[in-house]
Amino acid sequence: MSMRGLTVFIADIRNCRVRELEEKRINKEMANIRSKFKEGNLNGYQKKKYVCKLLYMYILGWDIDFGHMEAVNLIASTKYSEKQIGYLAVTLLFHENSDLVRLVVNSIKKDLDDMNEIYNCLALHAIANIGGREMAETLALDVHRLLISPTSRSFVQKKAALTMLRLFRKHPDVIPATDWADRVIALMDEYDLGVALSVTTLVMAFAQTFPEEYKGCYVKALQRLKRILIDRDFSLDYIYYKVPTPWLQVKCLRLLQYYPPPEDAAVRNEINELLQVIVNNSQDTPKNVQHNNAQNAVLFEAINLAIHLDSNSQICMQAAVLLGRFISSKETNVRYLGLETMAHLAACADSLEPIKKHQETIIMSLRDKDISVRRRGLDLLYSMCDTSNSKVIISELLRYLQIADYTLREEMVLKIAILTEKFATAYSWYVDIILQLISTAGDHVGEEVWFRVVQIVTNNEDLQEYAAKTVLNYLRSPQYNETMIKVGGYILGEFGHLIANSSGCSPIEQFTAVHSKFSLCSLQTRALLLTTYVKFVNLFPEIKSQVLTVFNQYRHVLDSELQQRACEYMAISTLPTDDMLQTVCEEMPPFPERESTLVIKLNQKQGDTEDKRVWVIGGKEANLERRESMKARMSSIDSISTPTSFTAPEPRPATTTNGNSHMMSAEPDLLGLDDLSISTPNNVQLSSNDVPTPGFEPGYHKLQRAAEGVLFEDMHLQIGLKSEYHGHLGRLALYFGNKTGATLQNFTTQIDSTEALTVISPTPVANVVEARSQVQQLLNIECNEFFRESPGLRISYTSQATGPQRLFIKLPVVLTKFMEPIQSMDGNSFFQRWKQIGGAPRESQVVFKSGSQSGISIESVRNILDGYRFGLLDDVDPNPSNFVGAGVVHGGKAGKVGALLRLEPNMEQHMYRLTVRTTSEIVSEELRIILERSLTYDA
């Protein structure tokens, strides 16, 4: 297809030696084409030629913002050569959300229906490339027809399969994948290996979403492998450098990894036999690079499958030996893949022994000349680390950190920090390593690393003295490292007094060490150090005057944050009594958090048009959870009626806080070291009074939707509440106000804490509430399971005005408090998820009447849904008075559960239909109950 004008143009561009000349030539041509298109009257050949020129400019990286209409016209041409260029332009230039897509849908449909199969293919290819919603809705059935029709030729079928896959990935709600399961699975048997490959790819995507409906593919994939490997039944065309269709083999091996290992021993044997054949085949000496590649592609995927099935099997032992050979191979590709696959083995195997044999080689790989190999080595070392080799590995990593590529450092720091924490056996070792890490890595230490250090030191009493001494030494060194100063400032402020009597650690020496670096620090760090100083004033009155000089100086700086801190700290420090200072600077309570922020940071999420990972980098427990959830997904479909994830809230000894009790230790400690908090179960159980005090409900219900307000009020006492929630954690502040003119004596509170919902009061509430004054109590709340019962709050006190009093009210802590709203979800993804969750039992639906006399007010409904922390998605439901909402419930140990909501009010009938879908039936039901009650009475 020679177009002289095009050839000349390309040659012209090639002759432009500098970018400016090229730009000039391009602009001239664009202007020319624009005017030609404007004049109109072009014949097909001319249109084709100009569109081709535009495409060439596009490939060179120029933005093309016209010519779309001409491309659309070309598609409808009867000449194949023009049609073909039209389709090429459409697939390169059109965006799925472009309005112009509408214009091509009809032409595409016509070509799909055409008798000419080559036209069918052009159309399929265009759909697979653009695949907007409108195309999916209009054309999915035609694509399906081409896929399954017995009259379709194989080159059409294989394209139809991949087109279907693309539409499913983008708009799963449009594709009735489950209805088509049998027909599609049957196509996996197709003799034509091109079709078999495409269909297997399609089935792989369906099976990830609908494992149960598509479980028939398991046997099909096995049979296919058997036909290739044992029966050697395949078309000779598909032998690629002596290996029969490696791509299809790899796909089948991969598909098997999306299912849990089969229970049936016969099936397992069959798979093992196939894997053995692959391992044996790999012993052939390869003829050339391509042969070697193809052979290894199959082998590596086979090893991955073997690890997935049973990491202790005979085959895996053989694999470990092979991998050991690979990681010292001369070929870089093989080393790379060997390390990667070994990391997979390390992440799943019960015993790391076969891998540890190669520890030396693996450590050497950190010094490989290729960064790609170094990365894999790092992943593997991270995965294979355990108590026996952690010291060696961590010190190697620390040594390597100093010379590592900059792009690797941040990740390395995280990994070292996690490993150090996980495998620490001695406090001093942990402190030494982590501070050395901070000191070495400098700017590459993320905030979360030093936060974590502070948390761990705070929560482990035995660590504190040593940590304080060590940071002080670091602060004294001439090296300047901002993260180290932050850690040092914080730790000395909290625990400096523990070392104040040691030589060289006197208060003034501590202060001088910190302050010598003060002027070098950023504003944020200086603010932190000011706080350290006010703590010093509290701990060491003898250096007060030096500290006050600093505060005084900083009362006049321009930065408002520093200025405010300096003024406030100055004022607190110079009050006539130290009461305020002591309260403000009280030692920090242990941190309640359980899941390490480091691990969260490391495991980022992946995009959604892609296949799932079958394993993650890290130790065994990191993968265990994923495997369990894979099994759970399969079995939950089998046994629909038995709830699996919900544990009924078992009452635990309630957290009692009165004048002198310590807090309960409700947390397993962060490190697996001994917990510092002493648990002293309190015997002063208040006599149980299990009927809630009348009048508690209005506040209880209102504050379920609000962060602060009055929880309860009677003649004598007012209880105010402020709250904030983040993820599965929450903090509540309760304010008990004495309204009477008499002192409330023996004031105690007792709050229910259960396994599912732990409530801890870090500091006890004051024993006495003076007349017309207020005391405060802070509560840390953690959601561990999906709970139903709000915790109870029991209060007792006596006073001259009232005599002995007892109150029992409920705290407004309901499941939705642990929900984060999702505001940014478009209609497509909402319905995609909606559909994925499906109907009962994971759906909870109810139709009910509004309790309001005056009818339904859309505004107050909106406020209620908003208050219960649903993100309201406008423009998803075409009917404006219907509500669509989404959120994520953070269930702590029970995991996160996405929640979707549809609420359809019927204004005439004063009725609502409320539908909640989440992946947990417990959550669906609980959310439904909460909303149903509130909508009935509060709207």
Partner 1 sequence: MIKSIMIFNNHGKPRLSKFYQQIDIATQQALIEEIFSLVSKRPDTVCNFLEGSKLLGGKDTRVIYRHYATLYFVFVVDESESELGILDLIQVFVESLDRCFENVCELDLIFHFEEVHHILTEIVQGGMVLETNMSEIVTAIGELNKMKKKSGAISAGSLSLKASETLRSSFRH
Nearest to 409 by CA among 441, 375, 368: 441
Residue 427 annotated as binding site: no
CB of 294 to partner 1, least distance (A): 5
Residue 321 annotated as binding site: no
Positions in 740-769 near partner 1 (CB under 8 A): none
- 285 belongs to the binding site for partner 1 (CB under 8 A): no
Residue 4 annotated as binding site: yes
Residue that has been written with the tokens 């870090």 in this structure: 762
CB of 289 to partner 1, least distance (A): 7
List the one residue from 290, 387, 522, 823 that touches partner 1 (CB under 8 A). 290
Of the ranges 369-377, 678-686, 704-712, 780-788, which one interacts with partner 1 (CB under 8 A)? 369-377
Positions in 394-423 near partner 1 (CB under 8 A): 407
Q: Which is nearer to partner 1, 168 or 830 (CB)?
A: 168
Residue 50 annotated as binding site: yes
Estimate the share of the chain in helix, then strand, then coil, as percent rounded to the nearest 5: 55, 10, 35
Residue 400 annotated as binding site: no
Could you tell me if residue 240 is left (phi over 0), alpha (psi between -120 and 50 degrees) or otherwise beta? beta
CB of 149 to partner 1, least distance (A): 19
- The pattern of x and - marking residues 597 through 616 that bind partner 1 according to CB under 8 A reads -------x-xx-xxxxx---
List the one residue from 152, 157, 209, 245 that touches partner 1 (CB under 8 A). 245
DSSP annotation string for 416-473: HHHHHHHH--SHHHHHHHHHHHHHHHGGG--HHHHHHHHHHHHH-HHHHHHHHHHHHH
List the one residue from 198, 383, 758, 832 that touches partner 1 (CB under 8 A). 198
* Bridge partners of residue 733, in order along the sequence: 722, 778
- The pattern of x and - marking residues 891 through 910 that bind partner 1 according to CB under 8 A reads --------------------
3-class state of residue 115 by DSSP = coil
Residue type, 115: M
Q: Which is nearer to partner 1, 249 or 748 (CB)?
A: 249
Strands 896-906 and 911-918, how do they pair? Answer: antiparallel
- 337 belongs to the binding site for partner 1 (CB under 8 A): yes
Residue 49 annotated as binding site: yes
List the one residue from 20, 39, 63, 650 that touches partner 1 (CB under 8 A). 63
CB of 123 to partner 1, least distance (A): 12
* CA 323 from centroid of its chain's CA atoms: 31
Q: Is 652 exposed, middle or buried (0-12, 13-18, 19+ CB in 10 A)?
A: middle
Which H or E run includes 39?
A: helix 19-39
Number of residues that bind partner 1 (CB under 8 A): 80
DSSP 8-state assignment for residue 816 = G
List the one residue from 49, 144, 375, 409 that touches partner 1 (CB under 8 A). 375
CB of 296 to partner 1, least distance (A): 5
Positions in 613-652 near partner 1 (CB under 8 A): 613
Residue 585 annotated as binding site: no
- 81 belongs to the binding site for partner 1 (CB under 8 A): yes
Give the pair of three-digit tokens for residue 134: 């409108």
DSSP annotation string for 314-360: HHHHHHHHHHHHHTT-SSHHHHHHHHHHHHHHHHH-S--HHHHTTHH
Radius of gyration of the chain, Cα coordinates, nearest whole angstrom = 34
Of the ranges 365-373, 432-440, 680-688, 841-849, which one interacts with partner 1 (CB under 8 A)? 365-373
CB of 820 to partner 1, least distance (A): 23
- 496 belongs to the binding site for partner 1 (CB under 8 A): no
CB of 241 to partner 1, least distance (A): 8
Residue type, 231: D
Nearest to 330 by CA among 274, 382, 368: 368
DSSP annotation string for 800-851: TTT-SEEEEEE----GGGGEEE-----HHHHHHHHHHH-STTSEEEEEEE--
Q: Give the Cα separation of 538 and 200 in Å (integer).
A: 70
The set of residues, in sequence order, having a beta carbon less than 8 Å from that of 387 and lying 6+ positions away, is 423, 425
- 478 belongs to the binding site for partner 1 (CB under 8 A): no
List the one residue from 18, 41, 369, 650 that touches partner 1 (CB under 8 A). 369
Positions in 43-62 near partner 1 (CB under 8 A): 52, 55-56, 58-62
Of the ranges 90-98, 470-478, 732-740, 879-887, which one interacts with partner 1 (CB under 8 A)? 90-98
List the one residue from 138, 223, 272, 333 that touches partner 1 (CB under 8 A). 333
CB of 374 to partner 1, least distance (A): 10
List the one residue from 24, 28, 34, 79 that touches partner 1 (CB under 8 A). 79
Residue type, 577: T
Nearest to 618 by CA among 378, 871, 355, 897: 378
**For the packed helices 101-113 and 133-148, what is the interaxial angle rounded to 10 degrees?**
10
Which H or E run includes 927?
A: helix 921-938
Positions in 105-164 near partner 1 (CB under 8 A): 118, 124-125, 128-129, 131, 155, 158-159, 162-163
- 735 belongs to the binding site for partner 1 (CB under 8 A): no
- 566 belongs to the binding site for partner 1 (CB under 8 A): no
List the one residue from 107, 152, 157, 293 that touches partner 1 (CB under 8 A). 293
- 237 belongs to the binding site for partner 1 (CB under 8 A): yes
Q: Is 656 exposed, middle or buried (0-12, 13-18, 19+ CB in 10 A)?
A: buried
How many Å from the N-terminal Cα to the C-terminal Cα in the chain?
A: 70
CB 775 within 8 A of CB 748: no
- 246 belongs to the binding site for partner 1 (CB under 8 A): yes
Q: Give the Cα separation of 906 and 440 in Å (integer).
A: 65
CB of 347 to partner 1, least distance (A): 14
CB of 526 to partner 1, least distance (A): 31
- The pattern of x and - marking residues 163 through 182 that bind partner 1 according to CB under 8 A reads x-xx----------------
Q: Is the dihedral of CA 209, 210, 215, 220 positive or negative?
A: negative
List the one residue from 301, 421, 921, 926 that touches partner 1 (CB under 8 A). 301
Provide the annotated binding site: 4-5, 36, 45, 49-53
